[in-house]
Amino acid sequence: MIIDCHTHLWENSRQLGRGGAECLRRMGDGAVFSADPGSHLAAAQCVDRSWVLGFRSRHLDGEVPNSLLARFVRSYPDKLLGAAGVDPCADDAYDQLAQVAYEPAFSGVAINPAAQDFHPADSRAGRMYEFCAQHGLVVFVHGGTHLPAGAKLEYARPYLWDEVLRDHVTLRVVLCDLGHPWPLETIALLAKHANVYAELGGLTRRPWQAYNALCQAYDFGVMDKLLFGSDFPFFTAGEAIESLYRLNELAHGTHLPHVPREQIRGIIERDAMAALGVSARPKV
């Protein structure tokens, strides 16, 4: 089974908030990223399931409507999983969570402390973590990748999650992009906390960074905590898989270490739903 744990959906760049369109232009270098439902399905042909991550930020005045994600996921329940965009410091955060908990399309929530202007250990966010742990919702955390100028990079540091994870030991967390640009901090968290995982979406387009990060993860014995992700629309699942399998080409003809191919295959074919305790059955 191949599960893509990191994809996006939006109707237009305005939904990404202030600076979102400029961020896309910088990343695309002239390319146009289309994240509509048709493009999403076409890019996911080679995977069994894809997690679609939402976005909401009162700080940047951006929102991809959770209703859009829910309709998309409900239309393809055997192919898609949803993580609703929730701003834990918004005035209506609890109302958002209540809707998520009883919507069959959603098995998690997606947050971005840097873009939402909150410290991960903020007490308001703590109430969200408690709710997610009680209702079996996975928390997907965007970090320091794809940030507009108005985001606050200091809140993207992975080590800030150590306090959260000590206080919420049953909370299941996925750190996106292996916590880029601080993969070693993420690897330390993976080794320390049982219910923390990381996916590789934002690194698959950066082979040298991905190679170094996987060598470090292998050395620290946390390869079983890594999940596959493409970061669509910035990369398709097929491109991400090919990039991972070709990482060792960087070490050919050198004395640099290789990441065992079976370990890379283990990441790509890992059953993320089972690892995260997510059921494919509808909520009742």
Q: Give me the phi and psi of 200, to 5 degrees please.
A: -110, 10
Q: Is residue 85 part of a domain?
A: yes
Q: Is residue 280 part of a domain?
A: no
68: helix, strand or coil: helix
Ranges of H-type helices in the chain:
20-28, 37-43, 66-75, 93-101, 113-116, 123-135, 161-167, 183-192, 207-219, 237-245, 261-268, 272-275
Under-50 pLDDT residues of the chain: 284
Q: Is residue 282 part of a domain?
A: no
Q: Is residue 281 part of a domain?
A: no
Q: Is residue 183 part of a domain?
A: yes
For residue 200, the domain's CATH number is: 3.20.20.140
* pLDDT score recorded for residue 284: 44
Domain assignment of residue 76, given as a range: 3-275
Q: Is residue 160 part of a domain?
A: yes
Q: Is residue 284 part of a domain?
A: no
* pLDDT score recorded for residue 33: 87
* pLDDT score recorded for residue 32: 74
Q: Is residue 283 part of a domain?
A: no
Report the domain count for the chain: 1
